[in-house]
A = this chain, B = another copy of it.
Amino acid sequence: MDKSILWKLSYGLYAVCLMDGQRPSGCIVNTFFQVTSGGVVAVSMNRDNYTHSLIEKHNRFGVCILSESTPARTIGALGFFSGRDKEKFAGLDYRMHEGIPLLNEGCCGYLILDVVGRYETDTHTVFFAQVEDAFAGVDIRSMTYEYYRSVIKGKSPKNAPTYGV
C-alpha cells in the first residue's frame, strides 16, 4: 500500500477559533468540509488537541477561511503550539464577534458554528456543526493545503489527520 497517495486529496486551510476563559485560542485545520446543502459542516480533530477540549466545553466555535494572503506567521502562531502552553493570539490582529475571536488577517470568510453531533475514531473526533452565521472577509483566493505546502513550504503538526502519511 502506498499511503503517500493520501497526499493527493485536496483541502483548504482554516483557523478554528474560540475562547479559553478570557483569552482567545484555537488551531489550524485542513480537514473541514461541508456535509449537507442545509449548512451542516464537519471538522476532524485529534482528541489530544487543546482546541478539542474547548469545542467540547463550548459546543460553539468560529472558522476563519484562510486565503493566499494569510501571513505564514499567523499559521505558525496558531498551528504549531498548544493553547495549553501559549497565548496563541498574542501579536495577531483579531476582533471579537458574538463571543468568538476572528482573525482580521488574510481571510476569505467566516463561519459561526454550533456543534450538533460527533463521531469518534481511535484518535480523532469528527465534530458536526450547523452554520449559524457566515460572512465575507476581504480576501479573494482561498488558501489550499497544496498551496500552503508547495508555495509557503508549510508542514503539518503531529496531530493533524494528514500528518505522516
Copies of the chain in the assembly:
2
A142 on the B face (CB < 8 A): yes
Residues of A in contact (CB 8 Å), total 54
For A160, the chain B residues whose CB sits under 8 A away are: 37
| Residues A38 and B123 in contact, CB atoms below 8 Å apart | yes
A61 on the B face (CB < 8 A): no
| Residues B12 and A10 in contact, CB atoms below 8 Å apart | yes
| Residues A36 and B6 in contact, CB atoms below 8 Å apart | no
A1-31 interface mask toward B, CB cutoff 8 Å, 1 = contact, 0 = none? Answer: 1110110111111000000000000000001
A122 on the B face (CB < 8 A): yes
| Residues A9 and B32 in contact, CB atoms below 8 Å apart | yes
Task: A10 to B37: give the CA distance in the assembly, Å.
Answer: 15
For the complex of A and B, the 5 pairs showing the least CB-CB separation, nearest first, are A10-B12, A5-B109, A5-B134, A8-B108, A35-B44
| 6 sample A-B contacts, Cβ–Cβ < 8 Å, listed by A number | A5-B108, A5-B111, A6-B41, A8-B65, A8-B142, A37-B162
